[in-house]
Structure 1
Amino acid sequence: MSAPLYQLKAEFFKTLGHPVRIRVLELLGEREHAVAEILPEAGVEAASLSQQLAVLRGANLVTSRREGSHVHYALTSPGIAELLRVARGILSGVLEGRAELLADLRAAGPPRG
């Protein structure tokens, strides 16, 4: 029997649960990148980036192709970039709500007691 869809979704989101993987996917949402282009943007050592790219490849979120001595990566689906855009919109709304709450708390003055 195959895993329920909600379990597969949980695994999918676990794969996204690393800042370097998110950064890589954001970069690849713009266009295909060579590893040498990703490395300075990811802010990690080459070995760590290689490990994170392997996780993304294993989850079939990115594809790779070799061109001479360079390896290039691309998203397997434009839906991945769209998902990250939606997540950004949700987070923006959450953070705006928190900023409003913080402003209200500051306006109320120091706690008494």
Structure 2
Amino acid sequence: MNKRDRELYQVKAEILKAISHSVRLAIIDFLKDGEKSVNDIAKWVGGSQSNISKHLSVLKRIGIVGDRKEGLNRFYYLKIFCVTDFSSCVNETLKKKIEYDRKLVYK
């Protein structure tokens, strides 16, 4: 593997690491229906605004979400919608794993 490939895989790993937190996955899922305020996200996820803001900054830094300010409020939105396809892929993988595990248990 050459240096460029290694760097590319490193960046991919950083993106996957950024979305590999349950709160961030929930935020991504919530934002797929449109722009939301930090307050709305915090209420839905069940965390403090401060904690949610930290998670949003991670997602923003890697480019998955964007934001805009309106008065005193900050609104977040998905910039990269294909991340929801990845979430669907994870759900499908989970279903297959559950089916496989059930077959093992009930054999």
Q: What is the TM-score of this pair, normalised by structure 1?
A: 0.81
Report how far residue 92 of structure 1 moved: 1.4
Indicate yes or no: 2:91 matched with 1:88: yes
Partner deviation per Cα, 1:6-49 (whole Å, 9 max, x = no partner): 22211111111211111001111122111121112212222111
Partner of residue 111, structure 1: none
CA contact (8 A) 2:39 2:49 kept: no
- Counting aligned pairs with the same residue, the percent is 27
SS class of match (2:20): coil
Distance 2:46 2:105 in 1: 31
AA at the equivalent of 1:23? A
Indicate yes or no: 2:27 matched with 1:42: no
Partner of residue 77, structure 1: 80
Indicate yes or no: 2:102 matched with 1:99: yes
Larger Rg: 1
Partner deviation per Cα, 1:72-100 (whole Å, 9 max, x = no partner): 11111211111111211111111221122
Distance 2:42 2:30 in 1: 11
AA at the equivalent of 2:74? V
Q: What is the TM-score of this pair, normalised by structure 2?
A: 0.86
Distance 1:98 1:18 in 2: 24
Select 1:61's aligned residue among 61, 64, 84: 64
> Can you give the 5+ residue segments of structure 1 that lack an aligned partner in the other structure?
105-113
AA at the equivalent of 1:49? I
Partner of residue 55, structure 2: 52
Cα distance change on mapping 1:14 and 1:71 into 2, 3 Å: same
